[in-house]
Each structure stands twice: as structure tokens, then as C-alpha cells.
Amino acid sequence: MKFIFIVVFIFCATLLVFSMQNTADVYITFLKWGISTTLTISVLAAFTGGVITGMLMLLPRLIRKNSMLRSLEKKQSSAQTQNEVYVDK
């Protein structure tokens, strides 16, 4: 737990230094839209978009594994129930 706290603290400190050093204005265009923002916000938005994209790509695998786990738990539960019935006889 302490290690994770230290890693998060170092990451936040690095992020703070990055944002303080990159205050230049940039103009971002996409097709016909455009926005003027700081370099820090644009980089952080791109990073956040990448994280969300990665999470969405992992979502089908997680859903598949969770459904498989539920199926195996049901089979195990029914097998235990059947074993308990036979043991009682």
C-alpha cells in the first residue's frame, strides 16, 4: 500500500511539473472544428483518450471471462449440491 502511494505521489508531482512547464498556447484543428488551448491540456486529453480506448478494447475480454467464471461457479455449486445429497444417503 505504501509503495502504491509513493508511485502515485511521484506521478502527480511529475504531472504538476509537466503542467507548469508547458503553458504555451496551441491551436488544435479537426476537420472544420478548432480550439485554442494549452499544450498541457491537449497532451492530457490525448492521454486520457488513449486510456479510455484501451479500456474499451479490454471490455469484451473481461465480459467473456466474467461470464465463463459465472458458468463455472454455477457448475461447481450444482456439483456440490449433488454431492451433498449423495453423502446424506
Extents of the domains making up the chain: 40-74
28 within 8 A of 34, measured Cβ to Cβ: yes
Please tell me which residue, 32 or 84, carries the higher pLDDT value. 32
**How many CB atoms are located within 10 Å of the residue 16 CB?**
10
Query: Is the pLDDT reported for residue 53 higher than 90?
Result: yes
26 within 8 A of 39, measured Cβ to Cβ: yes
Mean pLDDT across the chain:
84
β-strand partners of 35: 28
**pTM: predicted TM-score of the whole model, two decimal places:** 0.60
Q: Considering only CA atoms, which of 9, 11, 42 is closest in space to residue 25?
A: 42
Output DSSP code: residue 32: T
